[in-house]
Amino acid sequence: MGFQTEMVVMSIKEIGHSDENALLELLLTYKALGDEDALGNCSTSGCAPFRVKHGDDIDFESSDGDDDAGDTQPNYGDYGDESFIRNISEKDKKINSLVDMGFPENEANMAITRCGVDVDLSVLVDSISASLAAGDFDLSHQVTNRRSDSFGGTTKIRLIEDRKKKRKRYGGTAHGNQIFLDGSHYEHMPPPNPMVGFSLPNCSQLPVDRKIPKKAIGRPFFYYENVAQAPTGVWATISRCLYGIQPEYLDSKHLCAAARKRGYIHNLPIENRAPLLPLPPKTILEAFPRYKKWWPSWDTRTQFNCLRTSMACQQLTGSIGALARTGNPPPRNIQKDMIKQCKEYNLVWIGKNKVAALEPEEIEYLLGFPKDHTRGLASTNRYKSLGNSFQVDTVAYHLSVLRGMFPNGVTVLSLFTGIGGGEVALHRLGIHMKTVVSVEIDKASKRIFRHWWDQTQTGTLIEFDDVKSLTDATVASLVTRFGGFDLVIGGSPCNNLAGCNRYSRDGLEGKESVLFYQYPRILEAVKEAMARM
DNA sequence: TTTATGATGATATTCACA
DNA sequence: TGTGAATATCATCATAAA
């Protein structure tokens, strides 16, 4: 039948999800009317409750059809219903449901294999959509007249599947986008080179063709972050779920001494940004002059690579020290091997022929956190929490535009707070936080953030553990209580997106990274609640 | 039970060169 | 412009040690 996800969502919103026959009947009606007439032209699918109307606005539809009174469960796109699957095996029933929605049976089966049989139907829909969409999306940020044509023809699907099998997961050639025989290609939002965002401190404004849909303009401002080099198609999906706004890709090496290639999607103004002062050092030896004494001339590094969550082991640093003693200088081929390891693990020369990993305090400094911000945790946990955090100077540069807009302070909804990189950025900008509603599940990170808050802030801190437990009803209640939010900020888990994950780089449908979908769900709940104020 | 350690590639981009 | 080599990457797992 070839129904689009949006069509399914609209139908469910209209009649609920307990009446399968009525649902299918309505879907058929939509189909008979023609996708475009019923739904508008749509080039989306990665996130379920995303609907594009005719014209130039992009509108979200809340995934839960009611006002969430008494809503206590995570419900983003939740139209799975146990009564729906009562009489037959869960897997078969879900496959049948998905096939009835127009998905290919093999894709439905694969989605259940990927996501498990217990997940909501919406998760399976999103998984299949993302999978199929890889070869079926228009790249434009704007709404186009290109019809999605459901999920493409059978031939195309098989072609995509064959290609996927060959590539195993997210692969591709080393050169450019995948081009199919029919001329289409995978959705792709390659980061620019150089990765300098829309502007840099003390540099002239770059010409930026930036379009923000009407509905996404203004309060609440939002700021979303994740790794720039996510698997192909991930940023296109993220962008679609965040009003089609193009990511601002920026490598923090342009603001500090460590690389951190990240994508940021936000609706903040980009004029009149101001960096934190003093500007942080941009080279290793400016940041840590004491290492100059031991730094060999043949180690030509001037900046660190990405500061990650785990450090080099002693065995590695010891073996590099031994290699360093093979000559003065060591043979070129040995130098090459050593530099390769030093780059990968961000090692520094702390003595004669002696390298070591950066200390947690040094990483705090490079990332723009106050000294001892994470002190109190075991060192491995300090590395982990820091590796997962923002580079404060980078984020502060983007958030700096809020200073003039909210002279009396801001009310913040902070999702995936971690150790509070966003809040530290606001604090260092001199922006008062009247209230922060923080959502973070990791107890150690929560403790770090709470201690920092108690020491530096006078505003109100409200904490939640899990984004999934922050229901639309709770969001509405918070909006009423605090008069809305000025800023919704957060970077969702990158575990399944990061290139260094050798085990579960599963994309946005991965176990942790799937939490991304909570961000647009909650953001939209905030916007809807604020619209009712 | 918590923490530290060492081993575990694939993917995608960048760059040099023909 | 096309090709191959070089390079970078918010990680995870099993196991040992504390």
**Statement: residue A46 has pLDDT above 50:** no
Q: A264 — alpha (psi -120 to 50), left (phi > 0) or beta?
A: beta
Note the CA–C1' distance, A199 to B12, in angstroms.
Answer: 25
Report the SS3 class of residue A253.
Answer: helix
For residues A163 and A479, the model is more confident at A479
Q: How far is CA A25 from CA A21, A312, A313, in A?
A: 6, 60, 61
Q: How far apart are CA A242 and CA A221, in angstroms?
A: 12
Quickly state the pLDDT bin for A128 (edges 50, 70, 90).
Answer: low
Cβ of A494 near strand C (under 7 Å)? The reply is: yes
Are the beta carbons of A514 and A116 closer than 8 angstroms? no
In this complex, the residue with its CA at the shortest distance from the C1' of nucleotide B14 is A193
Bridge-partner residues for A491, per DSSP? A225
Nucleotide with the nearest C1' to A501 CA? C11
CA of A335 to C1' of B15 (A): 20
User: What local confidence, expressed as pLDDT, does residue A257 receive?
Assistant: 98
Protein CA at A91 to nucleotide C1' at B12, angstroms: 35
Q: Which residue has the tokens 């994950």?
A: A501
A404 CB below 7 A from strand B atoms: no
Asked if A174 CB < 7 A from strand C, the reply is yes
A121 Cβ nearer than 7 Å to chain C strand:
no
Whether any strand B atom is under 7 angstroms from the Cβ of A140: the reply reads no
A227 Cβ contacts chain C strand, under 7 Å = yes
Residue A376 amino acid letter:
G
Task: Judge residue A196's burial from the number of C-beta atoms within 10 Å of its C-beta, 0-12 exposed, 13-18 middle, 19 or more buried.
Answer: middle
Does any strand B atom come closer than 7 Å to the Cβ of A171? yes
Which tens digits make up the pLDDT trace of A225-246? 999 999 999 999 999 999 999 9
Q: Which of A98-107, A195-204, A287-296, A334-343 has the lowest mean pLDDT?
A: A98-107
Q: Are strands A410-415 and A487-491 parallel, antiparallel or unpaired?
A: parallel
**Nucleotides of strand C within 7 Å of the protein's CB atoms:** 2-13
Which residues of A are known catalytic residues?
Answer: 494
Protein-covered nucleotides of chain B (CB closer than 7 Å) are 2-15
Enumerate residues 6+ apart whose C-beta is below 8 A from A328: none
Residue A47, CB-side half-sphere exposure with 13 Å CA sphere: 31
Q: What tens digit of pLDDT does each residue of A62-81 get?
A: 223 223 322 322 222 222 22
Q: What is the pLDDT of residues A236-283, one digit of tens each?
A: 999 999 999 999 999 999 999 999 999 999 999 999 999 999 999 999
Length of chain A: 533
3-class SS of residue A294: coil
| Structural domains present in chain A | 5-167 (no CATH), 214-250+264-272+390-531 (3.40.50), 284-367 (no CATH)
Q: Residue A173 CA to nucleotide B18 C1', Å?
A: 20
- A169 CB below 7 A from strand B atoms: yes
Strand ranges inside A260-406, DSSP E: 261-266, 348-351, 354-356
Q: Sheet with A248-251: list strands edge to edge.
A: A248-251, A261-266, A221-227, A487-491, A410-415, A433-439, A460-464
Q: Is the CB of residue A117 less than 8 Å from the CB of residue A100?
A: no
CA distance A318 to A324: 10
CA nearest to nucleotide B5 C1': residue: A313
For strand A348-351 and strand A354-356, is the pairing parallel, antiparallel, or unpaired?
A: antiparallel
Q: Is the CB of A143 under 7 A from strand B?
A: no
Dihedral over Cα of A516, A520, A525, A530: its sign: positive
Three-state helix/strand/coil letters over A104-164: CHHHHHHHHHHHCCCCCHHHHHHHHHHHHHCCCCCCCCCCCCCCCCCCCCHHHHHHHHHHH
Say yes or no: Cβ of A263 under 7 A from any atom of strand B. no
Q: Which residue is nearest to nucleotide C5 (CA to C1')?
A: A174
- Nearest CA to A181 among A196, A206, A162? A162
pLDDT score of A151 more than 60: no
Amino acid A321 CA to nucleotide C14 C1' distance, rounded Å? 27
Q: What is the mean pLDDT of the segment spanning A503-510?
A: 97
Among candidates A233, A222, A144, which has minimal Cα distance to A188? Answer: A233
Would the Cβ of A237 be found within 7 angstroms of any atom in strand C? no
A316 nearest nucleotide via C1' and CA: B6
> Which nucleotide comes closest to A339 if you measure CA to C1'?
C7
Q: What is d(CA A444, CA A439) in angstroms, rounded to the nearest whole number?
A: 13
- Candidate from A76-80, A190-194, A492-496 with smallest mean pLDDT: A76-80
Residue A168 has pLDDT above 90, yes or no: no
Residue A521: pLDDT above 50? yes
- Asked whether strand B has any atom less than 7 Å from the CB of A434, the reply is no
Nucleotide nearest to A512 in CA–C1' terms: C11
- Please check whether strand B approaches the CB of A203 to within 7 Å: no
Q: Which nucleotide is nearest to A498 (CA to C1')?
A: C9
- State the CB neighbour count (10 A cutoff) for residue A149: 12
Model pLDDT, residue A37: 26
Could you identify the residue whose CA is nearest to the C1' atom of nucleotide B8? A502
Question: Å from A236 (CA) to B11 (C1')?
Answer: 17
The 3-state secondary structure of A416-461 reads CCCCCHHHHHHHHCCCCEEEEEEECCCHHHHHHHHHHHHHHCCCEE
Determine the protein residue whose CA lies at the shortest distance from the C1' of B11: A171
Report which DSSP code applies to A138: -
What is the rounded distance in angstroms from the CA atom of residue A489 to the CA atom of residue A187? 26
Name residues 218-237 of chain A with a Cβ under 7 Å from nucleic strand B: 229, 231-232
Give residue numbers, 460 to 499 of A, with CB < 7 Å from strand B: 499
Q: Report the C-alpha gap between A75 and A56 in whole angstroms.
A: 28
Amino acid (1-letter code) at residue A124: L
pLDDT for residue A370 is more than 60: yes
Which of the two residues, A181 and A445, has the higher pLDDT score? A445
**Distance measured from the CA of protein residue A169 to the C1' of nucleotide B10, in angstroms:** 9
Residue lying closest to nucleotide B7, CA to C1': A313
Separation in Å: B2 C1' and A379 CA: 12
Q: Please tell me the predicted confidence (pLDDT) of residue A209.
A: 82
Residue nearest to nucleotide C13 (CA to C1'): A503
A504 Cβ nearer than 7 Å to chain B strand: no
